[in-house]
Amino acid sequence: MKKTLFVALISATMLVFSNVAFADDAIEDGSMNFEFRNFNPSLTFKAQVSGDASATDFKNDLGLADKKSNEFRLNLGRTLRLAYTKFSYGGSGNPTVGSVTYDGQSFEVTAPVTTDININYYRLSWLIPITTSDEMTTKWIIDLKAFKFDTRLAGTDPSTSNPVTVQKSFQGGIPTVGFATSFRLASNLTAYGEITGLPLGKYGHFYDMEGGLKYEIGEFAIGAGYRNFDLNIKDGSTNGDNVQLKLAGPYYNVSYKF
Protein backbone atom coordinates (compact mmCIF):
# COMPACT_ATOMS: atom_id res chain seq x y z
CA MET A 1 0.00 0.00 0.00
CA LYS A 2 2.74 2.46 0.93
CA LYS A 3 4.38 2.21 -2.51
CA THR A 4 1.08 2.79 -4.32
CA LEU A 5 0.15 5.75 -2.16
CA PHE A 6 3.65 7.19 -2.45
CA VAL A 7 3.37 7.17 -6.26
CA ALA A 8 0.03 8.96 -5.99
CA LEU A 9 1.56 11.54 -3.67
CA ILE A 10 4.45 12.19 -6.07
CA SER A 11 2.00 12.68 -8.96
CA ALA A 12 -0.04 15.09 -6.91
CA THR A 13 3.07 17.00 -5.83
CA MET A 14 4.01 17.49 -9.48
CA LEU A 15 0.53 18.92 -10.00
CA VAL A 16 1.11 21.35 -7.13
CA PHE A 17 4.39 22.69 -8.48
CA SER A 18 3.01 22.99 -12.01
CA ASN A 19 0.37 25.39 -10.65
CA VAL A 20 2.53 27.70 -8.50
CA ALA A 21 1.94 30.70 -10.78
CA PHE A 22 -1.80 30.05 -10.72
CA ALA A 23 -1.74 29.94 -6.92
CA ASP A 24 0.08 33.29 -6.75
CA ASP A 25 -2.62 34.87 -8.93
CA ALA A 26 -5.30 33.39 -6.69
CA ILE A 27 -3.84 34.97 -3.55
CA GLU A 28 -3.58 38.38 -5.21
CA ASP A 29 -7.13 38.24 -6.59
CA GLY A 30 -9.11 38.41 -3.36
CA SER A 31 -9.20 38.61 0.41
CA MET A 32 -8.31 35.96 2.96
CA ASN A 33 -11.00 33.99 4.73
CA PHE A 34 -10.57 31.82 7.83
CA GLU A 35 -13.20 29.20 8.61
CA PHE A 36 -13.76 26.99 11.66
CA ARG A 37 -15.99 23.92 11.39
CA ASN A 38 -17.38 21.55 13.97
CA PHE A 39 -18.26 18.20 12.39
CA ASN A 40 -20.44 15.61 14.15
CA PRO A 41 -20.21 12.49 11.98
CA SER A 42 -21.18 8.87 12.31
CA LEU A 43 -18.00 6.77 12.11
CA THR A 44 -17.20 3.67 10.09
CA PHE A 45 -13.56 2.56 10.33
CA LYS A 46 -12.23 -0.82 9.24
CA ALA A 47 -8.57 -1.74 8.79
CA GLN A 48 -6.89 -4.90 7.58
CA VAL A 49 -3.15 -5.48 7.82
CA SER A 50 -1.47 -7.65 5.19
CA GLY A 51 -1.70 -11.29 6.25
CA ASP A 52 -4.83 -10.96 8.40
CA ALA A 53 -7.81 -13.03 7.24
CA SER A 54 -10.28 -10.14 7.51
CA ALA A 55 -10.60 -6.48 8.44
CA THR A 56 -11.08 -5.28 12.01
CA ASP A 57 -14.19 -3.17 12.53
CA PHE A 58 -13.01 -0.63 15.10
CA LYS A 59 -16.49 0.68 15.89
CA ASN A 60 -18.67 -2.44 15.94
CA ASP A 61 -16.05 -4.99 17.09
CA LEU A 62 -14.17 -2.77 19.56
CA GLY A 63 -16.93 -0.43 20.71
CA LEU A 64 -15.65 2.97 19.60
CA ALA A 65 -18.25 5.74 19.86
CA ASP A 66 -18.97 8.62 17.48
CA LYS A 67 -17.24 11.89 18.33
CA LYS A 68 -17.18 15.48 17.13
CA SER A 69 -14.13 16.82 15.28
CA ASN A 70 -12.88 20.24 14.20
CA GLU A 71 -11.73 21.42 10.80
CA PHE A 72 -9.80 24.58 9.94
CA ARG A 73 -9.87 26.17 6.49
CA LEU A 74 -7.94 29.11 5.06
CA ASN A 75 -9.08 30.58 1.75
CA LEU A 76 -6.35 32.60 0.03
CA GLY A 77 -8.11 34.70 -2.55
CA ARG A 78 -11.01 33.30 -4.53
CA THR A 79 -9.45 30.11 -5.81
CA LEU A 80 -6.91 28.68 -3.34
CA ARG A 81 -7.90 26.82 -0.16
CA LEU A 82 -5.99 25.02 2.58
CA ALA A 83 -7.76 22.71 5.05
CA TYR A 84 -6.83 20.49 7.98
CA THR A 85 -8.96 18.12 10.03
CA LYS A 86 -8.02 15.80 12.87
CA PHE A 87 -10.28 12.94 13.95
CA SER A 88 -9.43 11.23 17.26
CA TYR A 89 -11.25 8.25 18.72
CA GLY A 90 -10.48 6.18 21.79
CA GLY A 91 -12.12 3.68 24.08
CA SER A 92 -11.70 0.59 26.22
CA GLY A 93 -13.81 -2.54 26.49
CA ASN A 94 -14.10 -6.19 25.64
CA PRO A 95 -14.45 -7.09 21.95
CA THR A 96 -18.07 -7.61 20.97
CA VAL A 97 -17.16 -10.63 18.83
CA GLY A 98 -15.41 -13.85 19.86
CA SER A 99 -11.95 -12.58 18.96
CA VAL A 100 -10.25 -9.83 16.98
CA THR A 101 -7.01 -10.29 15.02
CA TYR A 102 -5.05 -7.21 14.06
CA ASP A 103 -1.59 -7.30 12.49
CA GLY A 104 -1.34 -10.97 13.44
CA GLN A 105 -2.18 -10.43 17.12
CA SER A 106 -5.37 -11.90 18.58
CA PHE A 107 -7.49 -10.26 21.27
CA GLU A 108 -10.15 -12.37 22.98
CA VAL A 109 -13.60 -11.37 24.24
CA THR A 110 -12.60 -12.32 27.79
CA ALA A 111 -10.15 -9.40 28.23
CA PRO A 112 -10.57 -5.64 27.69
CA VAL A 113 -8.84 -3.89 24.79
CA THR A 114 -7.87 -0.22 24.71
CA THR A 115 -8.28 1.23 21.22
CA ASP A 116 -7.01 4.52 19.77
CA ILE A 117 -7.36 6.00 16.28
CA ASN A 118 -5.87 9.31 15.15
CA ILE A 119 -6.65 10.51 11.63
CA ASN A 120 -4.99 13.57 10.07
CA TYR A 121 -6.54 14.84 6.84
CA TYR A 122 -4.97 17.62 4.75
CA ARG A 123 -6.31 19.34 1.63
CA LEU A 124 -4.83 21.80 -0.84
CA SER A 125 -7.48 22.92 -3.35
CA TRP A 126 -7.72 25.06 -6.47
CA LEU A 127 -11.21 26.28 -7.36
CA ILE A 128 -11.31 27.23 -11.04
CA PRO A 129 -14.30 29.39 -12.10
CA ILE A 130 -16.60 28.03 -14.81
CA THR A 131 -19.48 30.51 -14.59
CA THR A 132 -19.95 33.55 -12.36
CA SER A 133 -23.01 35.75 -11.83
CA ASP A 134 -24.74 37.56 -8.98
CA GLU A 135 -27.11 34.62 -8.44
CA MET A 136 -24.97 31.55 -9.18
CA THR A 137 -21.36 30.40 -9.49
CA THR A 138 -19.86 27.10 -10.64
CA LYS A 139 -16.26 25.95 -10.29
CA TRP A 140 -13.99 23.03 -11.03
CA ILE A 141 -11.95 21.77 -8.06
CA ILE A 142 -8.46 20.29 -8.26
CA ASP A 143 -7.43 18.80 -4.92
CA LEU A 144 -4.33 17.35 -3.37
CA LYS A 145 -5.50 15.23 -0.43
CA ALA A 146 -3.07 13.73 2.08
CA PHE A 147 -3.88 11.59 5.09
CA LYS A 148 -2.34 9.61 7.92
CA PHE A 149 -4.03 7.00 10.12
CA ASP A 150 -2.41 5.94 13.40
CA THR A 151 -4.03 2.92 15.06
CA ARG A 152 -3.25 1.32 18.40
CA LEU A 153 -4.69 -1.70 20.22
CA ALA A 154 -3.52 -2.64 23.72
CA GLY A 155 -4.74 -5.71 25.58
CA THR A 156 -3.75 -9.18 26.76
CA ASP A 157 -2.13 -11.92 24.68
CA PRO A 158 -4.47 -14.93 25.09
CA SER A 159 -1.62 -17.45 24.76
CA THR A 160 0.68 -15.92 27.42
CA SER A 161 -1.66 -13.66 29.45
CA ASN A 162 0.97 -10.92 29.07
CA PRO A 163 0.18 -7.32 28.08
CA VAL A 164 0.56 -6.67 24.36
CA THR A 165 0.29 -3.58 22.17
CA VAL A 166 -0.14 -3.40 18.39
CA GLN A 167 0.45 -0.15 16.51
CA LYS A 168 -0.04 0.34 12.78
CA SER A 169 0.05 3.45 10.58
CA PHE A 170 -1.30 4.04 7.08
CA GLN A 171 -0.49 7.15 5.08
CA GLY A 172 -0.52 8.54 1.56
CA GLY A 173 -1.71 11.22 -0.81
CA ILE A 174 -4.18 11.33 -3.69
CA PRO A 175 -4.94 14.01 -6.30
CA THR A 176 -8.68 14.37 -6.95
CA VAL A 177 -11.01 16.48 -9.08
CA GLY A 178 -14.47 17.81 -8.42
CA PHE A 179 -17.18 20.40 -8.87
CA ALA A 180 -18.60 23.20 -6.69
CA THR A 181 -21.64 25.43 -7.04
CA SER A 182 -23.38 28.14 -5.02
CA PHE A 183 -26.77 29.88 -5.29
CA ARG A 184 -27.62 33.22 -3.72
CA LEU A 185 -31.04 32.84 -2.10
CA ALA A 186 -31.10 36.35 -0.61
CA SER A 187 -28.72 39.28 -0.25
CA ASN A 188 -26.92 37.60 2.66
CA LEU A 189 -27.98 33.93 2.32
CA THR A 190 -26.23 31.40 0.05
CA ALA A 191 -26.76 27.70 -0.61
CA TYR A 192 -23.70 25.74 -1.73
CA GLY A 193 -22.46 22.26 -2.50
CA GLU A 194 -19.34 20.50 -3.69
CA ILE A 195 -18.01 17.04 -4.43
CA THR A 196 -14.44 15.86 -5.02
CA GLY A 197 -13.07 12.39 -5.46
CA LEU A 198 -11.42 9.76 -7.58
CA PRO A 199 -12.18 6.10 -8.34
CA LEU A 200 -9.02 4.02 -7.94
CA GLY A 201 -10.15 0.67 -9.35
CA LYS A 202 -8.68 -2.24 -7.39
CA TYR A 203 -6.96 0.29 -5.14
CA GLY A 204 -10.28 1.64 -3.82
CA HIS A 205 -11.84 5.11 -4.01
CA PHE A 206 -11.89 8.50 -2.28
CA TYR A 207 -14.90 10.87 -2.16
CA ASP A 208 -15.63 13.98 -0.10
CA MET A 209 -18.95 15.80 -0.59
CA GLU A 210 -20.93 18.43 1.28
CA GLY A 211 -23.85 20.84 1.03
CA GLY A 212 -25.06 23.65 3.23
CA LEU A 213 -26.28 27.19 3.85
CA LYS A 214 -24.21 30.29 4.67
CA TYR A 215 -25.55 33.47 6.29
CA GLU A 216 -23.31 36.56 6.06
CA ILE A 217 -23.15 39.27 8.72
CA GLY A 218 -20.65 41.88 7.59
CA GLU A 219 -17.18 40.31 7.62
CA PHE A 220 -18.49 37.27 9.49
CA ALA A 221 -20.51 34.33 8.24
CA ILE A 222 -22.22 31.43 9.99
CA GLY A 223 -23.59 28.30 8.42
CA ALA A 224 -24.56 24.67 8.68
CA GLY A 225 -24.62 21.69 6.38
CA TYR A 226 -24.12 17.97 5.87
CA ARG A 227 -20.91 16.21 4.83
CA ASN A 228 -20.16 12.71 3.58
CA PHE A 229 -16.56 11.44 3.50
CA ASP A 230 -15.83 8.02 1.97
CA LEU A 231 -12.30 6.60 1.72
CA ASN A 232 -11.34 3.04 0.78
CA ILE A 233 -7.66 2.42 0.10
CA LYS A 234 -6.23 -1.00 -0.77
CA ASP A 235 -2.83 -2.26 -1.88
CA GLY A 236 -4.48 -4.26 -4.67
CA SER A 237 -4.11 -7.77 -3.22
CA THR A 238 -6.81 -9.98 -1.68
CA ASN A 239 -5.53 -10.02 1.91
CA GLY A 240 -3.27 -6.97 1.76
CA ASP A 241 -3.41 -3.68 3.63
CA ASN A 242 -6.88 -2.14 3.44
CA VAL A 243 -8.41 0.90 5.15
CA GLN A 244 -12.08 1.89 5.00
CA LEU A 245 -13.18 5.18 6.52
CA LYS A 246 -16.66 6.68 6.28
CA LEU A 247 -17.75 9.84 8.08
CA ALA A 248 -21.21 11.28 7.50
CA GLY A 249 -23.12 13.85 9.49
CA PRO A 250 -24.00 17.50 10.11
CA TYR A 251 -21.61 20.37 10.74
CA TYR A 252 -21.76 24.04 11.62
CA ASN A 253 -19.19 26.65 10.66
CA VAL A 254 -18.08 30.19 11.46
CA SER A 255 -15.86 32.25 9.16
CA TYR A 256 -14.22 35.66 9.08
CA LYS A 257 -13.07 37.58 6.00
CA PHE A 258 -9.92 39.69 6.33
For the domain covering 2-257, report its CATH number: 2.40.128
Q: Is 8 helix (H, G, I), strand (E, B) or coil?
A: helix
pLDDT in tens, the chain (258 residues): 544 444 444 444 444 444 444 444 444 455 799 999 999 999 999 998 888 888 899 998 998 999 999 999 999 988 899 999 999 999 988 898 778 999 999 999 889 999 999 999 999 999 999 999 989 999 999 999 999 999 999 999 998 989 999 999 988 888 999 999 999 999 999 999 999 999 988 888 999 999 999 999 999 999 999 999 999 988 866 677 889 999 999 999 999 998
In whole angstroms, what is the distance from residue 208 CA to residue 196 CA? 5
In whole angstroms, what is the distance from residue 129 CA to residue 138 CA? 6
pTM of the model: 0.85
In whole angstroms, what is the distance from residue 206 CA to residue 244 CA? 10
Q: Is 159 helix (H, G, I), strand (E, B) or coil?
A: coil
In whole angstroms, what is the distance from residue 125 CA to residue 134 CA? 23
Which residue type is seen at 58?
F
Residue ranges covered by each domain of the chain: 2-257
Per DSSP, the residues of 59-115 read TTTT-PPP--EEEEEEEETTTEEEEEEEEEEEEEE--SSSEEEETTEEEETTS-EEE
